[in-house]
Amino acid sequence: MLVTLALLSGACSGGRDKLIAELQSTRPEERALAVKRLAEQGKEEDLTLFSQAAKDPVSIVRAEAMTALGTSKDARVVDLLGEGLADGNELVQQSAATALANMKTDKARAYLMVQFGRRGRATRELIVKALKAANVPGAMAGAVAAEASAQWERTLKTLQEGTLPERVGAAEELGKSGRPEAITRLVPLLKDSQVLLAAAAVRGLGNANDKRAVQPIAALLKESYPDLREAACEALAQLDDASALPALREVAVEHSPLSRLAAQAMVALPRSPEVDKALCDVIALGGAAEAAVAGKELRRRDGCPVEPLADKLRTPANVPSLLAGLAGLGPKAKELSPKLVPLLTSPDANIRRATVEALVELGDDAAAPALLKAYEAEVKALDALRADWISAPLPQEYAPGFDPQAPVDPSDPVAAARGKQSDLFKRVNALADAKARAAGKVVREPAPPREVVDDATEDQLKVLAALVRALGVLKLEPAEAALTKLLTESSPSLRAAAIEGLAALGEARLADLKGALQDQDRDVQARAARALALAGPKGQAMVLEAIAVQSGDRVRFLEALRATPLSVEAAPSLVTLVKEGGAEAGTAALMLGELGYAQAVDPLLDYLGEPTSIARREVLVALGKLGVAKAADAVGKELYSDSADVRAAAAEALSALGAGSHADALDALKGDYYRRVREAATATQTKLAGAPH
């Protein structure tokens, strides 16, 4: 566009009459250049023309008009510039902000202050520069304080006078401020007759992170409203105060849908012997889901005394939850393995499955013969149900007249309409597939069915699937042959179990699993990715290779990799994902930060340079972890972001990078509306102040 304007400059330089005539041109570039040339002449009578151009339907003309109006320094145009600052186009906003810097009036400064809280990052930064140019002391701090004050008043008014949905949102937003006054406003709402509003007040108090709210919130766990109790569990997890432990323990062992949330909140509490004991109680007394949560956490800690758990195994009603808890504890409860083996013959299929899973996690080699015997018995029991109805290979194409993609009869109007719609979707899909193939991606084609029908349902196959996985994880003798055969199974659960088992056998069998990452079932894909990621560098390389050629959703592959320690060899593939800028860019950036891959700094900075990038917070976190000083300026610019999450992430990242030229902006954020932004800015400033110079 700038090149076009430059080429047109000669055509528009032939006198005022010609320039004024150009203002009526049908070409926006000519109108914009005419405004610019007229502004250079500095004629007062042209203000009317610039005011008209400020209403032009094309943004580049309006932007030039804002610049021209600012050059005039005429106080009469301040209102027009204020309107420009509220324009929907960012280029016009920025031109108006720069122009207002030339207006040394209180009204101009007021427009800049008001619009700071309503604009995007680039405009906010220019507004601060304009305020500084207008010699406003503490420009950034003043703008931030004005924004925080306006947001507080607006939120408070909505909480008092809004509709119920508006009040619900306002209650949560008020809590995010973390102000002491927010606590005094929200605590009375805990007893509001509108349960939705009371629950929102609970969430707001959790966001406020004020310990004074712990006991009022804990008392709500005795209420009968599920929404209120759920919000209380989540808030207590955020508040991280051990005084809530008794109330949370009571909910965790009550066998309700909220018990799992209560157990998760207990895990979030500061570690102490009392918390560990309460988690052990959840395994002994709670349901299966919450027992699994407690067991997994205690595996990372010191485990549990096993004698009380062994006593509980004598009561059949306790067995399902105990098995889930023992699976979570893993090797920390290995001595209970002999007591679990008899449960492999239970008439309850769910008990048998949970027993297999627990024995695998306990890792006791002495249980191998019993597991092998259980596998053989399960295969035999399912033989009749698993028999093929048709022994010959199934056809790969439709018989004549049965293909749903075949052309329809044009004489049938209903069929013709459906055919047109179907054809449209086919064309769209074909274009998407062609684009993916051109980019070197793999396009998954629908696979023909492996069986016509299977009498054994997925529920009936759960025990066999658990045993199949056990064959590989425990490296039992028939594992390799049995698991390889099951890779072509029609049952997704059996295929996934076979994949996990083979991956556990070692690197020699990983090559057989390459196709599993392109399975037709997404759950099988995800489980295959997790199994390969756990198998070590070779398996991780296979997952990264699949990511590179996969079309569509790849997040499940990245999440599988993120859950395992990665080698630095994975970094180039992750950098490629950041450069592509898709939905996976944020996760890839976080993984690069965790790897400490300093060569990723430039691609991460390029990502930040794109105004429409959506994973800015994750990229800032990664840059902070990498700690390369040259990123400080780009990270500092994000202190002006209109997103509180991004501002907080930028402030935290600067603790490793240094504030540089953005020290004033960092200091100003200590007055931000949002608690987490204030805390991040204060912590970073304190750290930098104490760092050696």
Least confident of 47-56, 174-183, 324-333, 409-418: 409-418
Tokens in use for 164?
Answer: 């119920």
Same domain, 43 and 188: no
Residue 117 lies in a domain: yes
Residues 434 and 429: their CA atoms lie apart, in Å, by 8
Residue 336 lies in a domain: no
Q: What is the pLDDT of residues 243-295, one digit of tens each?
A: 999 999 999 999 999 999 999 999 999 999 999 999 999 999 999 999 999 99
Least confident of 101-110, 230-239, 373-382, 431-440: 431-440
Same domain, 119 and 168: no
Over range 122-150, report the average pLDDT: 92
Domain closes at, from 278, 313, 329: 329
Dihedrals phi, psi of 54, to nearest 5 degrees: -65, -15
pLDDT of residue 518: 86
pLDDT of residue 449: 52
Residue 165 lies in a domain: yes
Q: What is the pLDDT of residues 548-594, one digit of tens each?
A: 887 667 888 999 999 888 888 899 999 999 998 888 899 999 999 99
Same domain, 131 and 246: no
Same domain, 32 and 132: yes
Q: Find tokens 């009561």 and name the residue.
A: 315
Domain closes at, from 283, 299, 329: 329
Q: Which domain range does residue 594 map to?
A: 572-693
Same domain, 114 and 168: no
Over range 610-637, report the average pLDDT: 94
What is the CA angle 639-640-642, rounded to 5?
Answer: 110
* Band of pLDDT at residue 26, cut at 50, 70 and 90: confident
Has residue 457 got a pLDDT over 70?
Answer: yes
Domain closes at, from 308, 329, 350: 329
CATH number at residue 639: 1.25.10.10
Whole-number Cα distances in Å, 442 to 56, 79, 439:
48, 56, 9
Strand partners, 442: 550
Same domain, 166 and 55: no
pLDDT of residue 343: 94
What number of other Cβ atoms are within 10 A of residue 337's Cβ?
19
Q: Find tokens 């396009």 and name the residue.
A: 443
Same domain, 227 and 305: yes
Same domain, 168 and 132: no
CB neighbour list of residue 29: distance below 8 Å, 6 or more residues apart: 1, 4, 5, 8, 60
Residue 385: which H helix or E strand, with range? helix 368-386
Residue 362 lies in a domain: no
pLDDT of residue 515: 85
Report which of 110, 124, 89, 85 is spatially closest to residue 639, judged by C-alpha positions. Answer: 124
Percent of the chain residues past pLDDT 70, beyond the cut = 87
Work out how many domains the chain is built from and give that number: 3
Same domain, 35 and 126: yes
Query: Residues 355, 359, 365, 368: what is their CA dihedral angle, to the nearest 10 degrees?
Result: 30
Residue 352 lies in a domain: no
What number of other Cβ atoms are within 10 A of residue 109's Cβ?
21
Residues 177 and 241: their CA atoms lie apart, in Å, by 20
Same domain, 218 and 124: no
Same domain, 172 and 319: yes
Rounded-to-5 percentages of helix, strand, coil across the chain:
75, 0, 25
Same domain, 215 and 69: no
pLDDT of residue 300: 93
Tokens in use for 273?
Answer: 């012997």
Residue 588 lies in a domain: yes
Residue 470 lies in a domain: no
Residue 206 lies in a domain: yes
Q: What is the pLDDT of residues 170-191, one digit of tens each?
A: 999 999 999 999 999 999 999 9
